[in-house]
Amino acid sequence: MTVPWEELVCAALVGADRRGVPPESLLEQAAEQVVRTRAGRRPGRGGPPAPAAAETLPLVPGAAADRLARMLGGEQGRLLTEWLETAAARRVRVPAELIPGLLDLGARDRSIRAYLGAVTGARGRWLAGLNSAWAYLLAEPAHVPPDEVWQLGTSGDRRAFLAALRRRDPAAARDLLARGWGAETPEDRTVFVTILADGLGMADEPFLEAVLDDRRREVRQAAADLLTRLPESRLARRMTARVRRFVTRRGAGVRAEPPAACDAAMERDGVRARPPAGMETRGWWLQQVVAHTPLSFWPGHLGMPPDEIAGTRIGEWEREVRMGWTRAAILQRDTTWARALFEAEPLTDLLAVLPPEERSQRAAELVAGHPVDGQMVMMLGGVPRPWGPRLAKAVLKKIVETTRTQPWNAGELVRLAGERFDPAMHTRVVEVPELAAILRFRFDMLEELA
């Protein structure tokens, strides 16, 4: 008697006239069925997910949670990383309802993932298991090292375990790694190699040399980066033999000639054949070979101390050779070279190699003698928090000056200072209200998390 709903829809689509049905009657039947269907709908079957594991960490205090919610809403959003870093160090977890917002941020910003692994607790990992966009979280250590973590733990737990073992007993960590090497994923292999940087020595050389035969370029490169820190390594000797022909003393200066080809042996040693966009291919090879040569080779080879080498004109390929040395100073954590190269050209990345006190001092000098521009802000961006008193003083002076003369130029520097100054300074920067406000915010934020 009742016309099936699908038939009514069909008739309405093609037109009631063509079906010979009065349109009013069609509408009336449809109305009756719509209401009946809506009123008579029975619950379907739902598949609730398995419950999450119990939490092991205490919840963050209420005031701190409220502030985090406001920050996620946009208030002082740039300070979010510091909030997360502090909460992770305090071993507290965030309220569950804030986890999805945080995990969305982590999907875009790798730098906060390690903190998210710690502060989102069991609930975070449970959610990461339900949403593939958040699966990265499962690779972060979770502050819960269970027994047999090396066999059964998440990727992140195993990394944390290996790092801890490496700190205690470097040889044991290397042997553990070597035993199951073939079964590890390429991503894990890359990270595991970098963990060996802690306590690196010639005892690691045979293992790392073997890793140069890995199928994955990232893994090979990680091994090559470590081997360049060992001047006695076979890789270091091969690089030295190569570079000897490419960079030579010419009179008072230095002359460079890039490799003619990138052969298989070079690729095995971590040299990438394909240059990044916009870079000349042979120059790219030259830069990488220089970057992977032990810096101790150069004074003998060129007959000059590092500070002289850093100031020498090279002519053609100068840019590539300098970039190579800079990269080498960073990879090999060589303070002498970093200092010499920074004198010649103040590159932010080099500051990271210097001890904190000196880093602060050099940055302060630079600030005093430079106008506020993008380059200065970028340089300062490379100096991690907290900035020492000397640097803070220099930056504050600069901000006050700039605010007076070019207020439109001070904004970015003020915000950066707000992130990096010691927050206890909030009472001493009243002449710059925006800076005082950010520092006050951080001061309260850290108090709440204490």
Applying the rule CB under 8 A, the residues between 193 and 232 that interact with another protein are none
Other Cβ atoms less than 10 A from the Cβ of 260: the count is 9
For another protein, the closer CB: 35 or 152? 35
Please choose, out of 13-21, 148-156, 307-315, 338-346, the segment that lies near another protein by the rule CB under 8 A: 13-21
Please choose, out of 93-101, 273-281, 352-360, 441-449, the segment that lies near another protein by the rule CB under 8 A: 93-101
CA–CA distance, 368 with 384 (Å, rounded to integer): 19
Among 92, 127, 243, 256, contact with another protein (rule: CB under 8 A): 127
Nearest Cα neighbor of 399 from 382, 386, 411, 387 is 411
Among 1, 13, 261, 430, contact with another protein (rule: CB under 8 A): 13
Minimum distance from CB of 104 to another protein (Å)? 9
For another protein, the closer CB: 35 or 378? 35
Minimum distance from CB of 7 to another protein (Å)? 11
Residues 6 or more apart whose CB falls under 8 angstroms from that of 375 comprise none
Minimum distance from CB of 142 to another protein (Å)? 15
CA–CA distance, 225 with 194 (Å, rounded to integer): 9
The reply to whether 4 sits near another protein by the rule CB under 8 A is: no
Minimum distance from CB of 44 to another protein (Å)? 5
Residue 255, SS3 per DSSP? strand
Scan for tokens 């009336």, then name that residue: 28
Minimum distance from CB of 137 to another protein (Å)? 13
The reply to whether 7 sits near another protein by the rule CB under 8 A is: no
Please choose, out of 126-134, 214-222, 279-287, 433-441, the segment that lies near another protein by the rule CB under 8 A: 126-134
Q: How far is CA 177 from CA 135, 148, 173, 196, 217, in A?
A: 25, 15, 6, 10, 19
Please choose, out of 92-100, 204-212, 228-236, 257-265, the segment that lies near another protein by the rule CB under 8 A: 92-100
Per the structure block, which two tokens stand in for 323?
């970039």
CA–CA distance, 283 with 256 (Å, rounded to integer): 10
CA–CA distance, 117 with 134 (Å, rounded to integer): 11
Please choose, out of 19-27, 161-169, 299-307, 326-334, the segment that lies near another protein by the rule CB under 8 A: 19-27
Long-range (24+ apart) CB contacts under 8 A made by 172-180 are 174/203, 174/204, 174/207, 176/150, 177/207, 178/207
φ/ψ (deg, to 5) at 256 = -125, 145
For another protein, the closer CB: 5 or 207? 5
The reply to whether 95 sits near another protein by the rule CB under 8 A is: yes
* Alpha helices per DSSP H over 180-280: 186-195, 205-211, 217-227, 234-246, 264-268
Scan for tokens 């502090």, then name that residue: 86
- Number of residues near another protein (by CB under 8 A): 46
Please choose, out of 9-17, 72-80, 222-230, 334-342, the segment that lies near another protein by the rule CB under 8 A: 9-17
The reply to whether 17 sits near another protein by the rule CB under 8 A is: yes
CA–CA distance, 439 with 38 (Å, rounded to integer): 56
The answer to whether 328 and 340 have CB atoms below 8 angstroms apart is no
CA–CA distance, 172 with 168 (Å, rounded to integer): 9
Minimum distance from CB of 9 to another protein (Å)? 5
The reply to whether 24 sits near another protein by the rule CB under 8 A is: yes
For another protein, the closer CB: 59 or 149? 59
For another protein, the closer CB: 75 or 263? 75
φ/ψ (deg, to 5) at 3 = -75, 130
The reply to whether 110 sits near another protein by the rule CB under 8 A is: no
Residue 37 burial (C-beta neighbours within 10 Å; 0-12, 13-18, 19+): exposed
Minimum distance from CB of 32 to another protein (Å)? 8
Residue 247, SS3 per DSSP? strand
For another protein, the closer CB: 16 or 400? 16
255's torsion region: left (phi>0), alpha (psi -120 to 50) or beta?
Answer: beta
For another protein, the closer CB: 48 or 369? 48
Scan for tokens 């080809």, then name that residue: 261
One symbol per residue from 343 to 382: x for binding another protein (CB under 8 A), - otherwise; what is it? ----------------------------------------
For another protein, the closer CB: 23 or 253? 23
Nearest Cα neighbor of 232 from 204, 210, 265 is 204
The reply to whether 3 sits near another protein by the rule CB under 8 A is: no
Per the structure block, which two tokens stand in for 179?
């035993």
Applying the rule CB under 8 A, the residues between 27 and 86 that interact with another protein are 27-28, 30-31, 34-35, 38-52
Q: Which residues bind another protein (CB under 8 A)?
A: 5, 8-9, 12-18, 23-24, 26-28, 30-31, 34-35, 38-52, 95-97, 99-101, 122-123, 126-127, 130-131
